[in-house]
Amino acid sequence: MDNSKIRCFVIGALMMFLFVSIKTQAQNVENGKKIYETRCLVCHQADGGGVPNMNAPLDGATNVVGNDITRLVRIIKYGFNERVELDGLYYSNSMTPNPDLTPAQISDVLSYIRSSWSNKATKVTTVQVQQGIKGSQKTSTK
């Protein structure tokens, strides 16, 4: 193979890779949206705004767009039963656990939440979710 053929091949492969990864990302978010609508929307509302004093907002919330993915994964999987302070306000309602969601589904819904409304945070991978769940099992056996 001469140089130009190699170049062609590399560019082609790169384009394929980009195309596939963009498509999977879009699917992630699309799947995540469906999960959000059936499980999360009722409390967190259609615009991710939550309910004052009760259900925490997801839109623009620093913890939601922050880097502590493990915490987000654990809240979705195991629920949440504390009065929580978020950006200076308090929320008191219990969060329903979702023990039946797979790591892929949790990454989808988190990717949707972190990239919707005014949120522009990074997507969450299945590996990050798996690490988050492992982390929580370790903590719970301590």
Partner 1 sequence: MKKGIYLLLLLSISVHFLANAQENAGLTLPNGFKANLFAENIGSARHIAISKNGVLFAKLNRADKQGRTIIRLEDENKDGISDKITGWANYGGTGIYLNGNALYASSNEAIFKYQLDGKDEVVNPLSPITVVTGLINRRQHESKSITFDKANNIYVNIGAYSNACQEKDRTAGGQGMMPCPILDSAGGIWKFDASKENQTYGDGKRYATGLRNVIGLDWNPQANKLYVAQHGRDQLNTFFPSLYTDAQNAELPAETFYEINEGDNAGWPYVYYDNFQHKKIVSPEYGGDGKKEGASDIKNPAVAFPAHMAPMGVLFYTGNQFPEKYKNGAFITFHGSWNRAPLPQEGFFVAFVPFKNGKATGEWEIFANGFAGTVDGAKITSTRSAKARPCGLAQGPDGSIYVSDDTKGSIFKISYQK
Shortest separation between residue 77's beta carbon and partner 1, angstroms: 13
Taking CB atoms within 8 Å and a gap of at least 24, the contacts of 38-43 are 39/96, 39/98, 39/109, 40/109, 40/113, 43/93, 43/95, 43/96
Shortest separation between residue 39's beta carbon and partner 1, angstroms: 8
Ramachandran region, residue 4 (left: φ > 0; alpha: ψ -120 to 50; beta: rest): alpha
- Which tokens belong to 86? 């978020």
Residue from 6, 46, 104, 127 touching partner 1 (CB under 8 A): that is 46
Residue from 35, 65, 95, 124 touching partner 1 (CB under 8 A): that is 95
Q: Where is 22: in which H helix or E strand? A: helix 3-35
Alpha helix (H) residue ranges in 79-125: 103-114
Nearer to partner 1, 2 or 82 (CB): 82
The 53-92 contact track toward partner 1, x by CB under 8 A, reads xxx-x---------------------x-xxx------x-x
Q: Give the binding site for partner 1 (CB under 8 A).
A: 37, 39, 41-43, 45-47, 49-55, 57, 79, 81-83, 90, 92-97
